[in-house]
Amino acid sequence: MTRNWAGIAGLVIVLAVVFAYSAFFTVHQNEQALVLQFGEPLRVVREPGLKFKVPLFQNVVYFDRRVLDYDPPGEEVIAADKKRLVMDAYTRFRIVDPLRFYQTVGSENGVRDRLSAIANGVVRRVIGTVTLASILSGERAKIMDDISDQVNAEAKQFGIDVIDVRIRHADLPEANNQAIYARMQSERQREAKEYRAQGAEAAQRIRARADKDKVILLAEAQRQSQITRGEGDSDSIRIYADAFGKDPDFFAFYRSMQAYRQALGDGETTLVLAPDSDFLRFFNDLSGKGGPAK
């Protein structure tokens, strides 16, 4: 009998521990909780700490109270000037009303799907009223503020507060990029041809100027050489004339010796001359006045 009471007491203690454990829950500083009773919202817990709930009948759903973000894929939009853009906009939001959040979307995945539709619609609507030049200019900040305000106004029904909506990328579609790239390439090729033509023209001018300077220099050098050669020939003739006038016999002898050297210097020249030839007059008489060679 005592053993039975001991077992019952142990069971009661275990149940009490389980009951106490399931009756308390903890809310962290970065969380907020919604207590449900049979699936129906009962109360919102915003303050962190240890909280109480009725075991078995109540359960707790936690929601993040920090700033959350959603980064949807890029969408193609059309600006007011009919320019197509692929825009990648991200959204940052915070859950401010857990009860409405739970009743409307249920979870973060659910609100992200709804935010995607809202943000894309607002972005298309606002971008459709401005030009591409405005998006790429200083007006971009005001455009993004308008988008954020409109998205926030539509998202309040889900119990969230949209803090910011920003465009991370605003690119042209791939087809437009290729067309712009081809146009840029043809423009650069045109500029390159123009620069090459200008360079060829400058090179031609430089070559023509160099050829002209060359002709002038050569002509001047030839003129100077002719003058120098003429002066040298004049001096040579004068010297020869002076030398011939001072000693005609020696001059005749000297010129004959030079003629012999040129005619007979290589040792292979054969001359057939008459004995009384004037060319051989110095062979018998150094004065050149004797008879013919014998």
Give residue-wise pLDDT tens across range 23-70.
Answer: 788 888 888 988 888 878 888 888 888 888 877 788 888 888 888 888
The CATH number of residue 86's host domain is 3.30.479.30
Question: Domain boundary residue among 14, 39, 64?
Answer: 64
Q: Judge if 206 and 130 occupy the same domain.
A: no
Q: Judge if 114 and 193 occupy the same domain.
A: no
Q: Judge if 101 and 161 occupy the same domain.
A: yes
Task: State both tokens at 163.
Answer: 């803090």
Asked if residue 58 lies in contact with residue 35, where contact means CB atoms within 8 angstroms, the answer is: yes
Segment holding 177, helix H or strand E: helix 174-246
Q: How many CB atoms lie within 10 A of CB 57?
A: 10
Would you say residue 160 lies in a domain? yes
Question: Domain boundary residue among 19, 42, 64?
Answer: 64
Q: Judge if 47 and 76 occupy the same domain.
A: no
Q: Judge if 232 and 203 occupy the same domain.
A: yes
Q: Judge if 288 and 231 occupy the same domain.
A: no
Q: How many CB atoms lie within 10 A of CB 249?
A: 11
Q: CA 176, CA 241: separation in Å to the nearest integer?
A: 95
Would you say residue 183 lies in a domain? no
Q: CA 228, CA 206: separation in Å to the nearest integer?
A: 32
Query: CA geometry: angle at 190 spanning 187 and 195, to 5°?
Result: 125
Q: Judge if 89 and 166 occupy the same domain.
A: yes
Q: What pLDDT is recorded for position 269?
A: 66
Q: Domain range holding 281? A: 248-294
Would you say residue 48 lies in a domain? yes
Would you say residue 182 lies in a domain? no
Asked if residue 36 lies in contact with residue 60, where contact means CB atoms within 8 angstroms, the answer is: yes
Question: Domain boundary residue among 64, 84, 105?
Answer: 64
pTM to 2 decimal places: 0.51
Q: What pLDDT is recorded for position 266?
A: 66
Q: Judge if 72 and 55 occupy the same domain.
A: no
Question: For the purposes of burial, counting CB atoms within 10 Å of the CB of 266, is it exposed (0-12), middle (13-18) or buried (19 or more)?
Answer: exposed
Q: CA 157, CA 154: separation in Å to the nearest integer?
A: 7
Would you say residue 264 lies in a domain? yes
The strand pair at 160-171 and 49-52 is best described as: unpaired
Q: Judge if 242 and 264 occupy the same domain.
A: no
Which residue ranges of the chain lie beneath pLDDT 50? Answer: 291-294
DSSP state at residue 44? E
Q: What pLDDT is recorded for position 125?
A: 86
Q: Name the β-bridge partners of 45.
A: 33
Q: What pLDDT is recorded for position 293?
A: 42
Would you say residue 252 lies in a domain? yes
Would you say residue 109 lies in a domain? yes
Number of domains present in the structure of the chain: 4
- What's at 83, amino acid-wise? K
Q: CA 73, CA 171: separation in Å to the nearest integer?
A: 13
Q: Judge if 74 and 39 occupy the same domain.
A: no
Residue 82's nearest CA partner among 133, 40, 117 is 133
Q: Judge if 123 and 205 occupy the same domain.
A: no
DSSP conformation letters of 252-275: HHHHHHHHHHHHHTTS-------T
Q: What is the pLDDT of residues 140-154, one digit of tens each?
A: 788 888 888 888 888
Would you say residue 195 lies in a domain? yes
Q: Judge if 144 and 231 occupy the same domain.
A: no
DSSP state at residue 284? T
Q: What pLDDT is recorded for position 291?
A: 47
Q: What pLDDT is recorded for position 164?
A: 85
Query: CA geometry: angle at 185 spanning 74 and 167, to 5°?
Result: 20
